[in-house]
Each structure stands twice: as C-alpha cells, then as structure tokens.
Chains A and B, each alone.
Chain A
C-alpha cells in the first residue's frame, strides 16, 4: 500500500491542482470565461430572495371546458334533430338523457368530431362516458385530464414568465415542478408582495354591456371591484383580453386620473367598433376576473381599436393592470402554496456565522489532530485542507448551490473526515506493536483499515443520497456537501495522505516513528 507508481502520483496531484483551480476561481467572477465562470452559487437563504411554489387549479378550467362542450353538443343535437330530455353540466361530468344512444355514439366516437378530441399519441379520446339506462355520463378520460393539465401548466408557465420578466428582477428561475406546480426563485428580492399580487390574478378581461333587468338567462349580477355595488351585466362577451395587443398606464389629460390605455388587434377592433356603434348611450362594463372595474357610458362609436380603461386607479395599480393585460390571462387560477423569503441582511449574517463556525471548527480539529498524532496529525491536517479545497472545487465545477445547511455539511465533513485517517493511524499503531518494520506496519495498517473506512463512509453516503432525493430546498444543499465530502474524504485519505505517509515512512524506515 505504500508503493505509488509515477503515473499514479502524477494523476493524484493533477486532480488536486485541477480542482483547486476551480476553488480559487470563486474569487474571480468572469461570466464570459468558461473556466472562471464556474462558481459556487449561493442559495436563496444565503444571498436573500424569494422562493414561491404555485399550484395551478384546473377545476375552473375543466368546468369552463365542460360548459363549452355542452353548448356544442346542444347545437349538434338541434341541427341534426336528435331528441334529448336533458343535457347539462353537473360537477365534473356532463349528463345527457336521450333515447338515441346510437346516434350519440356515432357522433361522439367519430375521430373528427369537435367535442371529443382523439389523441393519436395516446390512442385515446379526450372524454369517456358511461351509460345507465338512457342517461349518459360524460367525463374527462385519464389522458384528457393529462392534456388539459399539461396545456394549462405550460401556458401558465409562459405567462408567469412574462409577468415576472416585466417586473424586471435579476436572474429569476421559473420551472415546472411535477404535474401542476410552478417553482419560482427570485434571488435578491426581499419583498415579493408585488409579484405575489401579480401572480394571484388570472387577469381575464372582458367587455360586456350593462343590461337593464333582462332575464337571468342572458345576464348576471356582478359587483364592482372596490365597492359592494352590484349591477346586471349581459353574459355575452363583446370582446375579451385575448384580443389586446398592447396596454400602457397613462395619466388622463383632463381629469389627471391614472388610466390604462389599450389597443386591440384587428379582430378585436372590428368587434369593438360594431358593438360601440350599435349601443351608443348604453353602459359598457369592463370586467376583470369576475369583478367590474368600471362601467362607463358609450358616448360615441370607438372605431380605431384604441380605448382606455378608467377606474379607481393609482398610477401603480394602473401600471400593474397594464402589465397583466400585456402578458395575457392565465388559463387557470394559481395559488401560492409555499413561500420562503429571506432578507439580504439575514443572508449576509448567515454567511458570516457559517464562515466563522467553519473556521473555528476547522482550527479545533486541526489542533486536536496534531495533539493526538504529532507528525502524522500534520499529515491528516494537510489531507483535511486538501479535502476542503477539493470539496469546494467539485461544488464549483458542478456549479452547485451552497445553502446554510450546506455550510453545516461542510463543517460536519471537517469533523468526520479525519475519521478515515484516525482509523488508519490507530490500525498502524496496533500493527506496530507486533511488528518491527515500519514499512510493514504502515502497509498492513492501510490494508486492514480499508474495509472499516469504506463501511463507515458508505453508510453516511447512503443517508446523504436518500436526503438528496427526498429532501427539499436548503436541506438538499446539506446532502450535496456531505455526499461530495465523503468522496473527497476517501480521496484525500487514501491517495493524498497515504502518499505523504509513504514518503515519510520510506525516508525514516529505520528510525523509531512515534505515533
């Protein structure tokens, strides 16, 4: 175990130099240079920032889709003169009562029908149905739900990204998490209130006419955003936010009130022009997420496709509304199910405390080892220093994220890493009792300690791996540093320290080595 071939020595030190290089590049930050840009990232708990986990609620979307399908089915039945007793949307299914089940199936199972989409990819329809007497219960199939979920989450992701980009925070990370979640990390942001407000709105904008006492089939009672007043509004949508191409906040010249001015696309402009021409004198309700923002009177036809939304705005809220309208409506509402925010000063305190405790822990261990093992202690300490440098180097190459628990993991690695050398040295001590030859005792010491060293480290590694896969957030950082720490520990004990020891023993093979 004490013999090292030249090529082995060369490789060991090459690896050490290679990784040390990346450790020290952390002191330089050059984004453009491939090597210098490889740095350890600081987690949100160390640099400050916000972590938000959003969940998409697809229920309203499913309801809306089912409602649309009911209308399409009704139209088809009417057109083809198929008789039915009942056709309505209840809960998460459509209930249809007809004696003409064959005709329904003929339509519904045709791969080109426009109610029940056929997915080539899954070889499955979007919907499935069950028949009980003359009642047909239509629900989403497994794949239909997957599709609706996927499209909702993909669209939401895109819109969330646009909204956050518009706010302009630095290096936001927005990723999909699982089936129905979006994870947002916003470094450096210590007050996520505005972003939370922006993400909490679906921002579905519709323009509808205010109706005066029509039947409840064509109109509904909606309340104003900032008061409890309610008015009847026609259910028919003249034009929606989907047709907007731009929206900007403005101060109205005459009233000095903040307003949002908007521009429609061609289709929207045409629809808007026709509606405002036909309904001069009536009131037009501007509805955002089911609440009336304002309901001004149409004084004259608006033909150019431009208009403005007045309301009880401050300039800030007008700016936010314009931003929401520009970035588009979310397909389904999002709710924040987890939020973790750390202020930058706490992050800084954590880094300082982490660094201080690392330094103190490191020094205590270093001195204890020298006290215990004298010269071999110094070798163990050198191995410990190399171990730390390698650990940081690997973290840099991987561009891993260092969190506060991650720092704790490094400190703990310092405490546990010497174990490998302790196991070996203790074994050498025992071997020396029965053996006169230094070389033989050291060689046997390394050999016999090997299985214990491996066993001891593998068990900790198993814990770290499990924690890495099942842990969340900052705790994952702990698993990363502990796990990598074990690998660097084995390397520094079995290659680096062993080489130093062999060098030392071969030099002093005939002298008395105290250990």
Chain B
C-alpha cells in the first residue's frame, strides 16, 4: 500500500475463484456457528462477571479456580485478563438475589488465596435483562441491515441493493464465524462493532457503486465487467488509504486501549479487512451476475 498501486488490475478475472472462496468461508462460518455456537457473555446470557486484581503476585490461576470450586457456584470460568495479576471470572448462576453474594465471594477468595483481592469490576445481569439485551441487539442488527437496504434502494437500482446486502451479510457472517471459531466472547460492545462494520462495509461498497454508475452513464459500449474493473481501479487507492487509516486507529485501540476494548477492536479489524475485500470481490460481481447494463441506470434516470 505504501508502494504505488497498479492502475489496471483485472479484478473480474478473479471473481469466480474468490467468490468460491467467499462462499466456502460463509458455509464454514455457518457450520461452525451451528455446531460450536457462540460464546455469549453475561450481557446476553445472564450471570455474573468479576474482574479481579490480586494484591499478591504469587497467586496462580489454579488457586483461584480451586477457590471457586469450593464455593460451589456451578459453572465458573476463570481466565487471565490484561495485566499480570488481573483475572476475569464468569459465573453462570441463574439466581443471585442474595445481597451479600458479591461480598461473600470476595471473603472466601481473600481467605483462600491469603491475599487481598480487589474487585475492579462487577457485572451482574439477570436472565430477564439479558434476554432483552439479546433481543434488542438482534433487532439493532436487523434494523441496520433493513435501513441500508432501503437507503441503497432509494439511491440506486435493486441490483445494487442485492450486491451491497450480499457484501454486508458476507462480512457479518464471517466476522461472527471467526468469533465462534476462536470462542471469543460476544457482548454488547461486539454488537456495536458489528453495526459499525455494517456501516463501514456499506460505505466502502457505495463509493465503488457510485463510480460504476457514473461510468455506466459515461461509456455506452463497455461491458459491466470492464466497467467494474475500471471503477474499482479508479477508487482503489481511496479504498486502500481509508482502510489503512481506519486500521491504524483500530490497531492502536487493540494494542493500547486496554483489555476491555480488545474484543471490540478485534471484531472491527476483521470487519474492516473483510469489508474492504467484499466491496471489491462480492458487491461488484453481483452487478455482473444480475446483468446490470447501461439500460439499468438510464432507466433509473427517467
């Protein structure tokens, strides 16, 4: 990207092969989702999340796990989080109406580890709330898809809508599939990331579509494949520069923004990379498959 970008790449030569790759990635993602499922966080599944910092650095993760085993709280997941003495504990209790619940965990943990334990963050989400959060998260994603569909349908012809939505679905499914594959946690901030990816992917696609439409009007004899190639080439350096600056910002969040923003920035990084790819190799080919011609856009003019 730092080097000069060649100006006459025949993108359409790669459509078939890369579409096949995309398709298999999507199928793979759906299969992984189906068989492995998602690692839903307390936001969507209910339960308790505690971020712990131990004062004593000799504590190891096994001791913490053992201490929780003794407390008999059912399914407890302990993992390292961020810095040296920080741990993240997830407890899947269905009911915790006891006001002393958190306090009693702190007491048993401190005495078992022989060290002061600092609860830096506690999140306790009841089943009713987690259900609502899940519903509103799914609603938000569906609504944004619908809004994008509507927007591009107003601005362009239906073939362009199909292309844009195919690209967005491609990006969202693959991002979620990667999260499922890596067992990364899905929480509220991941939903925010997915919505942003939807917006970003759309943004990338629209810029190329805009140019394709312009060129379709300009050249009356050239086939849609060549128009796509030319338009993609013309907008390529913008596509790449914007992806690079966005990725620079995201990598900065990923590496320096602290442990809480890791999942969010990771999802966004995947989304931006996949989104950039899909606007070139998913959205544009759809125009060819749906047989867009000069007539399509001229009809729209009238």
Using a CB–CB cutoff of 8 Å, the interface residues on chain A facing chain B are 45, 53, 55, 193, 196-197, 200, 335-343, 345-346, 349-350, 353-354, 356-358, 360-361, 364-365, 368-369, 371-372, 404-405, 407-408, 411-412, 414-416, 418-419, 422-423, 426, 430, 451-452, 455-464, 466-467, 470-475, 478-479, 482
Contact A455 B126 (CB under 8 A): no
Q: Which 4 A-B pairs have the closest CB atoms?
A: A415-B249, A463-B199, A353-B258, A361-B252
Contact A405 B264 (CB under 8 A): yes
B196 an interface residue at 8 Å Cβ cutoff? yes
Contact B189 A475 (CB under 8 A): yes
Contact B140 A462 (CB under 8 A): no
Contact B206 A459 (CB under 8 A): yes
B224 an interface residue at 8 Å Cβ cutoff? no
A340, B155: Cα distance in complex, Å: 43
Q: List chain B residues, Cβ under 8 A from A353.
A: 256-258, 261
Q: List chain A residues, Cβ under 8 A from B176.
A: none
Q: List chain B residues, Cβ under 8 A from A371.
A: 2
Quick one: closest A residue to B244, CB to CB? A368
Apart from A340-B122, A341-B119, A343-B119, list 8 A-B contacts with CB within 8 A.
Answer: A193-B102, A337-B128, A368-B245, A408-B265, A418-B241, A452-B211, A463-B199, A474-B188
B66 an interface residue at 8 Å Cβ cutoff? no
Contact B238 A426 (CB under 8 A): yes
A423, B188: Cα distance in complex, Å: 32
Contact B248 A361 (CB under 8 A): yes
Q: What are 9 A-B pairs with beta-carbon distances under 8 A?
A: A55-B128, A193-B99, A343-B121, A364-B248, A460-B203, A466-B140, A467-B196, A471-B140, A479-B192
B143 an interface residue at 8 Å Cβ cutoff? yes
In chain B, positions 37-76 with a C-beta closer than 8 Å to chain A are: 51
Q: List chain A residues, Cβ under 8 A from B198.
A: 463
Q: List chain A residues, Cβ under 8 A from B265.
A: 408
Contact B121 A341 (CB under 8 A): yes
- Determine, out of B25-33, B144-152, B285-293, the stretch whose residues face the partner at the interface: B144-152
Q: List chain B residues, Cβ under 8 A from A407.
A: 257
Q: Mark B129-161, 1 if CB is under 8 A from A, else 0.
A: 100010011011001100110010001000000
Most buried by A among B151, B155, B252: B252
Q: List chain B residues, Cβ under 8 A from A423.
A: 207, 238
A411, B257: Cα distance in complex, Å: 10
Q: Mark B254-288, 1 if CB is under 8 A from A, else 0.
A: 01111011001100100000000000000000000
Q: List chain A residues, Cβ under 8 A from B140.
A: 466-467, 470-471
A471, B123: Cα distance in complex, Å: 17
Count contacts on B: residues with CB < 8 A to the other chain: 70
Known: A372-B241, A466-B144. A471 touches B253 (CB 8 A): no
Q: Of A196, A360, A408, A452, which contacts B206 at CB under 8 A? A: A452
A195 to chain B, nearest CB (A): 9
Q: List chain B residues, Cβ under 8 A from A345.
A: 118, 120
B242 an interface residue at 8 Å Cβ cutoff? yes
Using a CB–CB cutoff of 8 Å, the interface residues on chain B facing chain A are 2, 51, 97, 99-100, 102-103, 118-126, 128-129, 133, 136-137, 139-140, 143-144, 147-148, 151, 155, 188-189, 191-192, 195-196, 198-200, 202-204, 206-207, 210-211, 234-235, 237-238, 241-242, 244-253, 255-258, 260-261, 264-265, 268
Q: List chain A residues, Cβ under 8 A from B264.
A: 405, 408
A338, B127: Cα distance in complex, Å: 9
Q: List chain A residues, Cβ under 8 A from B207.
A: 423, 452, 455-456
Q: List chain A residues, Cβ under 8 A from B211.
A: 452
Contact B256 A200 (CB under 8 A): no
Q: Of A343, A408, A452, which contacts B257 at CB under 8 A? A: A408
Contact A415 B247 (CB under 8 A): yes
A349, B256: Cα distance in complex, Å: 11
Q: List chain B residues, Cβ under 8 A from A360.
A: 252, 256
Q: List chain B residues, Cβ under 8 A from A405.
A: 189, 192, 261, 264
Contact B257 A357 (CB under 8 A): yes
Contact A462 B147 (CB under 8 A): yes
B110 to chain A, nearest CB (A): 14
Q: List chain B residues, Cβ under 8 A from A53.
A: 129
Q: List chain A residues, Cβ under 8 A from B252.
A: 357-358, 360-361, 364, 411
B26 to chain A, nearest CB (A): 22
Most buried by B among A200, A341, A412: A412
A415, B272: Cα distance in complex, Å: 12
Contact B253 A336 (CB under 8 A): no
A474, B260: Cα distance in complex, Å: 12
Q: Of B118, B151, B234, which contacts A462 at CB under 8 A? A: B151
Contact B249 A365 (CB under 8 A): yes
Known: A343-B118, A455-B210. A349 touches B237 (CB 8 A): no
Contact B99 A361 (CB under 8 A): no
Contact A472 B136 (CB under 8 A): yes
Known: A423-B207, A459-B206, A472-B136. A415 touches B237 (CB 8 A): no
A345, B118: Cα distance in complex, Å: 10
Contact B253 A408 (CB under 8 A): yes
A473, B200: Cα distance in complex, Å: 23
Contact B256 A455 (CB under 8 A): no
B231 to chain A, nearest CB (A): 11
B37 to chain A, nearest CB (A): 23
Contact B234 A430 (CB under 8 A): yes
Contact A412 B249 (CB under 8 A): yes
B254 to chain A, nearest CB (A): 8
Quick one: closest B residue to A365, CB to CB? B245
Contact B249 A197 (CB under 8 A): no
B190 to chain A, nearest CB (A): 10
Contact B199 A462 (CB under 8 A): yes
Q: Of B121, B125, B234, B242, which contacts A416 at CB under 8 A? A: B242
Known: A426-B238, A458-B151, A463-B196. A193 touches B100 (CB 8 A): yes
Contact A412 B258 (CB under 8 A): no
Known: A357-B253, A456-B203. A467 touches B195 (CB 8 A): yes
Q: List chain B residues, Cβ under 8 A from A350.
A: 258, 260
Contact A346 B51 (CB under 8 A): yes
A127 to chain B, nearest CB (A): 28
Most buried by B among A55, A342, A416, A463: A463
A286 to chain B, nearest CB (A): 22
A463, B118: Cα distance in complex, Å: 37
A358, B221: Cα distance in complex, Å: 49
Q: List chain A residues, Cβ under 8 A from B200.
A: 416, 460
Contact A411 B253 (CB under 8 A): yes
Contact B260 A466 (CB under 8 A): no
A478, B136: Cα distance in complex, Å: 16
